[in-house]
Amino acid sequence: MAVDEVRVERVGAATLVTIDRQHRRNAINGPTADALVAALDGFEADDASRVLVLTGAGGAFCAGADLTELESLTPRLLAGEGPLGFTRRVATKPTIAAIDGWAVAGGLELAIWCDLRVASPGSQFGCLERRFGVPLVDGGTWRLPRLVGLGRALDLILTGRTVAADEALAIGLLTEIADDPLARALELAELLAAHPQPTMLSDRASVYDGYGLSREEALALEGRYGVAVLADAENGAGRFSGGEGRSGR
């Protein structure tokens, strides 16, 4: 990468993206945000990479925007882009956040940008930007209510309180807690990569594209997406009929 504070590597079927600004608890400035966008572009262009795993180095996931360099992020916001990188986009393939330590402010917004979130028991979450008068502008006000519900989202957004991993799991902010979240995230990535891809990606797209539509519109969309992958469904049904996967195998 052009910016060594964002490392990108292939690990099996996954693209592992590591934010490495440990001197700032992986807080993001303008160049780092640009590097995250480049990392997502590279992932999208790599057909062999099936899952993106996002993590942070050195005992923190991400502390959000680097408030000492806020001016380096403002042009992205004024241009209609996510200040912290790719947060205004939706990846076309699954994404997993591997969280160890602080995932707060914009770092929380990066975590909930991902489809799944695995965190260590000692991880901490919160909209800590509340304490400094910094707004949520990386998708948090849209994604957080859809993830944990309106009431809990407003609790976190208005109070700016810190949430421990066990509470985050209980309210649906986390997918699971693991002693080694990166290892578990990479394990999940291999599981997702092993599934038949067209139907999994179609169902994922249906979830994102149908969310917020009326029931009739969402079901019609689901049907159209399903028709597009019927050949894969018929192939899978044939495998099952032939004895594969019986009794939950």
Q: Which residues does the annotation mark as catalytic?
A: 129
Tell me how far apart the alpha carbons of residues 240 and 235 are, in angstroms, rounded to a whole number: 9
145 vs 28, 30, 137, 140, 211, CA distance in Å? 24, 27, 14, 8, 12
231 vs 48, 94, 152, CA distance in Å? 21, 22, 42
151 vs 22, 158, 189, 240, CA distance in Å? 33, 10, 31, 43
Contacts of 118 (CB under 8 A, 6+ apart): 96, 97, 98, 99, 174, 175, 176, 177, 178, 181, 184, 185, 188
Q: Is 44 helix (H, G, I), strand (E, B) or coil?
A: helix
What dihedral angle (degrees, nearest 10) is formed by the CA atoms of 140, 142, 143, 148?
100
Longest Cα–Cα distance in the chain: 62
**Interior angle at CA 109, CA 51 and CA 129, nearest 5:** 155
